[in-house]
Amino acid sequence: MSKRILVIEDTEDNRRILRDLLTNAGFELIEAVDGEKGVFAAVEVNPDLILMDIQLPIIDGYEATRRIKANPATRHIPIIAVTSYALSGDEAKAREAGCDDYIAKPFSPRQILAVVRKYLAV
C-alpha cells in the first residue's frame, strides 16, 4: 500500500508540481486548498505525512498545524512546511506552530523527495 500525503496548498500550479512529482514517486496524494479544509482532511484521511503551505486562505498554515497537532487523533502525523516565507525567523515560527520540518520555495524535486522519504522511511 502506498503512503498517503496530504498537500495543503492554495496555488494550483504548486499543487500540480507536487502532484506530478509525488505520484510519479509512488505516493498517493490528497489535496486541500485552504487551511480549514486541510485540518478536516487530516482528520478524515489520516495521512502518513502533510505538506503544509503557510500562506493559506481561511486559516493560515500555522493555525492549521496547531489544530492538527492539538488533536490526539492527528498529532502523530509529520507536518512539513513548504513555504515562500523564507525570512529569518520564519522556520522557527513554523516549528513553534508544530511543523516537523521546513522547506523554502522554490524547492528542488530532489529536496522534496529526500525530506518526504526521511519521514516516511521509504
Q: Is the pTM of this model over 0.75?
A: yes
The DSSP string of 31-49 is EESSHHHHHHHHHHH--SE
CA 54 remoteness from chain centre: 9
Encode pLDDT of 58-109 as tens digits. 999 999 999 999 999 999 999 999 988 666 688 899 999 999 999 998 889 9
Task: Indicate the domain borders of the chain.
Answer: 4-120
CB atoms within 10 A of CB 5: 25
Q: Which CATH class is domain 4-120?
A: alpha beta
